[in-house]
Structure 1
Amino acid sequence: MTESPNLAASPSTLPNVEGEDFVRLILTALEDAKAEETIHIDLAGKSSLADAMVVTQGRSHRHVNAIADRLVQALKDSGHGRARVEGLPACDWVLIDAGDVIVHVFRPEVRAFYNLEKIWSADRPVERLVV
Protein backbone atom coordinates (compact mmCIF):
# COMPACT_ATOMS: atom_id res chain seq x y z
CA MET A 1 0.00 0.00 0.00
CA THR A 2 1.44 3.35 -0.98
CA GLU A 3 0.86 6.57 0.87
CA SER A 4 0.07 9.73 -1.00
CA PRO A 5 2.82 12.29 -0.72
CA ASN A 6 2.34 15.13 1.75
CA LEU A 7 1.83 18.12 -0.51
CA ALA A 8 2.00 21.49 1.18
CA ALA A 9 -0.23 24.13 -0.33
CA SER A 10 1.66 26.96 -1.91
CA PRO A 11 0.55 30.49 -0.99
CA SER A 12 -0.83 31.01 -4.49
CA THR A 13 -3.24 28.08 -4.05
CA LEU A 14 -4.55 29.21 -0.67
CA PRO A 15 -7.81 31.14 -0.52
CA ASN A 16 -7.41 34.88 -0.01
CA VAL A 17 -9.01 35.77 3.31
CA GLU A 18 -10.96 39.05 3.37
CA GLY A 19 -12.93 41.24 5.78
CA GLU A 20 -14.05 39.72 9.04
CA ASP A 21 -12.31 36.44 8.23
CA PHE A 22 -9.03 38.32 7.84
CA VAL A 23 -9.45 39.98 11.25
CA ARG A 24 -10.37 36.60 12.73
CA LEU A 25 -7.20 35.07 11.24
CA ILE A 26 -5.11 37.81 12.87
CA LEU A 27 -6.86 37.52 16.23
CA THR A 28 -6.43 33.74 16.21
CA ALA A 29 -2.70 34.04 15.46
CA LEU A 30 -2.32 36.54 18.30
CA GLU A 31 -4.20 34.26 20.68
CA ASP A 32 -2.00 31.31 19.66
CA ALA A 33 1.08 33.42 20.44
CA LYS A 34 -0.33 34.21 23.92
CA ALA A 35 -0.71 37.93 23.19
CA GLU A 36 -2.34 39.79 26.06
CA GLU A 37 -5.14 42.37 26.27
CA THR A 38 -5.92 42.33 22.56
CA ILE A 39 -8.31 45.00 21.33
CA HIS A 40 -9.89 45.23 17.87
CA ILE A 41 -10.81 48.75 16.71
CA ASP A 42 -13.04 49.28 13.68
CA LEU A 43 -11.62 52.13 11.57
CA ALA A 44 -14.23 52.06 8.81
CA GLY A 45 -15.22 55.66 8.17
CA LYS A 46 -12.56 56.99 10.57
CA SER A 47 -9.44 56.54 8.46
CA SER A 48 -8.42 55.73 4.93
CA LEU A 49 -5.30 53.92 6.20
CA ALA A 50 -7.05 50.68 7.08
CA ASP A 51 -10.41 49.13 7.87
CA ALA A 52 -9.33 47.87 11.30
CA MET A 53 -6.62 48.18 13.90
CA VAL A 54 -5.58 45.58 16.44
CA VAL A 55 -3.65 46.60 19.55
CA THR A 56 -2.08 43.95 21.75
CA GLN A 57 0.89 43.37 24.02
CA GLY A 58 3.53 40.91 25.07
CA ARG A 59 5.19 40.55 28.47
CA SER A 60 8.76 41.27 27.33
CA HIS A 61 10.91 42.16 24.32
CA ARG A 62 11.26 38.46 23.51
CA HIS A 63 7.51 37.86 23.79
CA VAL A 64 6.72 40.86 21.52
CA ASN A 65 9.17 39.45 18.97
CA ALA A 66 7.58 35.98 19.16
CA ILE A 67 4.08 37.41 18.74
CA ALA A 68 5.13 39.42 15.68
CA ASP A 69 6.93 36.43 14.14
CA ARG A 70 3.91 34.16 14.68
CA LEU A 71 1.55 36.69 13.11
CA VAL A 72 3.77 37.32 10.09
CA GLN A 73 4.08 33.55 9.55
CA ALA A 74 0.30 33.11 9.81
CA LEU A 75 -0.19 35.86 7.24
CA LYS A 76 2.30 34.20 4.88
CA ASP A 77 0.69 30.79 5.36
CA SER A 78 -2.71 32.22 4.43
CA GLY A 79 -1.40 33.88 1.27
CA HIS A 80 -0.86 37.38 2.72
CA GLY A 81 2.94 37.45 2.56
CA ARG A 82 3.17 41.15 1.75
CA ALA A 83 2.80 42.45 5.33
CA ARG A 84 5.26 45.18 6.26
CA VAL A 85 6.91 45.05 9.67
CA GLU A 86 8.54 47.91 11.59
CA GLY A 87 10.17 47.91 15.01
CA LEU A 88 11.58 44.39 15.24
CA PRO A 89 15.12 45.32 16.32
CA ALA A 90 13.96 46.98 19.58
CA CYS A 91 10.69 45.02 20.10
CA ASP A 92 9.18 47.77 22.25
CA TRP A 93 6.53 48.50 19.64
CA VAL A 94 6.18 46.39 16.52
CA LEU A 95 3.85 47.59 13.79
CA ILE A 96 2.58 45.07 11.24
CA ASP A 97 0.83 46.57 8.24
CA ALA A 98 -1.24 43.77 6.74
CA GLY A 99 -3.08 46.03 4.32
CA ASP A 100 -6.66 46.29 5.53
CA VAL A 101 -5.60 45.66 9.15
CA ILE A 102 -2.82 47.37 11.09
CA VAL A 103 -1.51 45.47 14.12
CA HIS A 104 0.42 47.10 16.96
CA VAL A 105 2.29 44.80 19.37
CA PHE A 106 3.61 46.62 22.44
CA ARG A 107 5.41 45.99 25.68
CA PRO A 108 3.01 47.03 28.49
CA GLU A 109 4.91 50.21 29.47
CA VAL A 110 5.11 51.45 25.89
CA ARG A 111 1.44 50.68 25.28
CA ALA A 112 0.43 52.69 28.34
CA PHE A 113 2.58 55.62 27.20
CA TYR A 114 1.14 55.89 23.67
CA ASN A 115 -2.43 54.81 24.56
CA LEU A 116 -3.50 54.25 20.94
CA GLU A 117 -6.82 52.77 22.02
CA LYS A 118 -7.93 56.10 23.42
CA ILE A 119 -6.88 58.02 20.31
CA TRP A 120 -8.54 55.71 17.77
CA SER A 121 -11.56 54.55 19.77
CA ALA A 122 -12.82 58.06 20.48
CA ASP A 123 -15.96 59.02 18.64
CA ARG A 124 -15.70 61.86 16.20
CA PRO A 125 -17.08 65.18 17.39
CA VAL A 126 -20.37 66.12 15.85
CA GLU A 127 -19.91 68.72 13.14
CA ARG A 128 -21.41 72.07 14.05
CA LEU A 129 -23.30 74.07 11.50
CA VAL A 130 -22.34 77.70 11.35
CA VAL A 131 -25.44 79.80 10.92
Structure 2
Amino acid sequence: MTQSAQLMQTIMKAIEEKKGHDPVALDLQGLSTIADYFVICHGNSDIQVQSITTEVKQQAEKAGWRMRGMEGFDTGRWVLMDFGDVIVHIFHREDRQFYNIERLWSDARTVETV
Protein backbone atom coordinates (compact mmCIF):
# COMPACT_ATOMS: atom_id res chain seq x y z
CA MET A 1 0.00 0.00 0.00
CA THR A 2 1.37 3.43 -0.94
CA GLN A 3 1.89 6.18 1.62
CA SER A 4 -0.94 8.23 0.11
CA ALA A 5 -3.26 5.19 0.36
CA GLN A 6 -2.28 4.73 4.02
CA LEU A 7 -3.04 8.40 4.70
CA MET A 8 -6.38 8.12 2.90
CA GLN A 9 -7.28 5.08 5.06
CA THR A 10 -6.33 6.97 8.24
CA ILE A 11 -8.53 9.87 7.20
CA MET A 12 -11.48 7.61 6.35
CA LYS A 13 -11.24 5.97 9.80
CA ALA A 14 -11.19 9.38 11.49
CA ILE A 15 -14.31 10.40 9.56
CA GLU A 16 -16.07 7.21 10.66
CA GLU A 17 -15.09 7.91 14.29
CA LYS A 18 -17.02 11.20 14.18
CA LYS A 19 -19.96 9.72 12.26
CA GLY A 20 -19.25 11.64 9.05
CA HIS A 21 -21.96 10.96 6.49
CA ASP A 22 -21.46 9.20 3.14
CA PRO A 23 -17.64 9.20 3.13
CA VAL A 24 -16.16 8.64 -0.32
CA ALA A 25 -12.53 8.27 -1.41
CA LEU A 26 -11.86 9.03 -5.08
CA ASP A 27 -8.69 7.74 -6.72
CA LEU A 28 -7.34 10.57 -8.90
CA GLN A 29 -4.11 8.83 -9.87
CA GLY A 30 -3.65 9.12 -13.62
CA LEU A 31 -6.49 11.67 -13.85
CA SER A 32 -4.97 14.67 -12.12
CA THR A 33 -1.71 15.99 -10.75
CA ILE A 34 -3.58 17.77 -7.92
CA ALA A 35 -3.53 14.77 -5.58
CA ASP A 36 -3.72 10.99 -5.50
CA TYR A 37 -7.02 10.98 -3.56
CA PHE A 38 -9.96 13.21 -2.76
CA VAL A 39 -11.82 12.25 0.41
CA ILE A 40 -15.33 13.69 0.66
CA CYS A 41 -17.93 13.52 3.42
CA HIS A 42 -20.47 15.72 5.15
CA GLY A 43 -21.88 16.58 8.54
CA ASN A 44 -25.39 17.69 9.39
CA SER A 45 -24.33 20.81 11.31
CA ASP A 46 -21.50 23.34 11.42
CA ILE A 47 -20.39 21.83 14.72
CA GLN A 48 -20.27 18.30 13.29
CA VAL A 49 -18.25 19.53 10.28
CA GLN A 50 -15.76 21.13 12.67
CA SER A 51 -15.67 18.02 14.87
CA ILE A 52 -14.92 15.77 11.88
CA THR A 53 -12.22 18.20 10.75
CA THR A 54 -10.56 18.23 14.15
CA GLU A 55 -10.58 14.42 14.33
CA VAL A 56 -9.08 14.07 10.84
CA LYS A 57 -6.31 16.53 11.71
CA GLN A 58 -5.54 14.84 15.04
CA GLN A 59 -5.51 11.30 13.67
CA ALA A 60 -3.39 12.23 10.64
CA GLU A 61 -0.85 14.05 12.82
CA LYS A 62 -0.81 11.16 15.31
CA ALA A 63 0.08 8.84 12.41
CA GLY A 64 2.92 11.18 11.38
CA TRP A 65 1.28 13.11 8.53
CA ARG A 66 1.53 16.89 8.28
CA MET A 67 -1.32 19.01 7.00
CA ARG A 68 -0.15 21.65 4.53
CA GLY A 69 -3.17 23.91 4.84
CA MET A 70 -6.81 24.22 5.75
CA GLU A 71 -9.60 26.56 4.66
CA GLY A 72 -13.17 27.03 5.85
CA PHE A 73 -12.98 25.73 9.43
CA ASP A 74 -14.45 28.87 11.04
CA THR A 75 -17.69 28.76 9.06
CA GLY A 76 -18.07 24.97 9.13
CA ARG A 77 -19.75 24.87 5.73
CA TRP A 78 -17.01 23.47 3.49
CA VAL A 79 -13.65 22.64 5.01
CA LEU A 80 -10.78 21.88 2.65
CA MET A 81 -7.79 20.09 4.16
CA ASP A 82 -4.61 19.73 2.12
CA PHE A 83 -2.33 16.84 3.03
CA GLY A 84 -0.47 16.96 -0.29
CA ASP A 85 -1.32 13.64 -1.90
CA VAL A 86 -4.72 13.56 -0.19
CA ILE A 87 -7.22 16.43 -0.27
CA VAL A 88 -10.14 16.26 2.17
CA HIS A 89 -13.48 17.99 1.60
CA ILE A 90 -15.77 18.08 4.63
CA PHE A 91 -19.08 19.68 3.75
CA HIS A 92 -22.21 20.75 5.51
CA ARG A 93 -24.96 18.54 4.02
CA GLU A 94 -26.61 21.30 1.93
CA ASP A 95 -23.30 22.52 0.54
CA ARG A 96 -22.28 19.02 -0.49
CA GLN A 97 -25.53 18.62 -2.40
CA PHE A 98 -25.12 22.04 -4.03
CA TYR A 99 -21.48 21.69 -5.15
CA ASN A 100 -21.67 17.95 -5.91
CA ILE A 101 -17.93 17.63 -6.53
CA GLU A 102 -18.24 13.87 -6.90
CA ARG A 103 -19.98 14.60 -10.21
CA LEU A 104 -17.09 16.83 -11.31
CA TRP A 105 -14.69 13.93 -10.73
CA SER A 106 -16.99 11.22 -12.09
CA ASP A 107 -14.08 9.68 -14.06
CA ALA A 108 -12.33 8.84 -10.78
CA ARG A 109 -12.60 5.37 -9.33
CA THR A 110 -14.26 5.09 -5.90
CA VAL A 111 -11.91 3.34 -3.48
CA GLU A 112 -13.17 0.61 -1.20
CA THR A 113 -11.80 1.30 2.28
CA VAL A 114 -11.20 -1.04 5.19
Which TM class, normalised by the smaller chain length?
0.7 to 0.9
Unaligned runs of 5+ residues in structure 2 are 109-114
Residue 30 (1) aligns with residue 15 (2): yes
Q: Give 2:70's match in structure 1, choosing from 73, 85, 107.
A: 85
Structure 1 counterpart of 2:46: 61
Normalising by the residue count of structure 2, what TM-score does the alignment of the two structures yield? Answer: 0.88
Alignment of 1:1-131 (within 5 A): 18-122=3-107
The superposition leaves residues 67-116 of structure 1 with CA deviations (integer Å, 9 ceiling, x where unpaired) of 00000011111111334111011110000111111010001110011000
Contact 2:7 2:65 in 1 (8 A): no
Normalising by the residue count of structure 1, what TM-score does the alignment of the two structures yield? Answer: 0.77
Q: CA RMSD in A?
A: 1.4
The size of the alignment, in residue pairs, is 107
1:99 is paired with a residue whose SS is coil
Deviation of 1:20 after TM superposition, in Å, equals 2.2
CA distance in 2, matches of 1:54, 1:35: 11
Deviation of 1:35 after TM superposition, in Å, equals 0.4
Runs of 4+ in 1 over 2 A off after TM superposition: none
Unaligned runs of 5+ residues in structure 1 are 1-16, 124-131
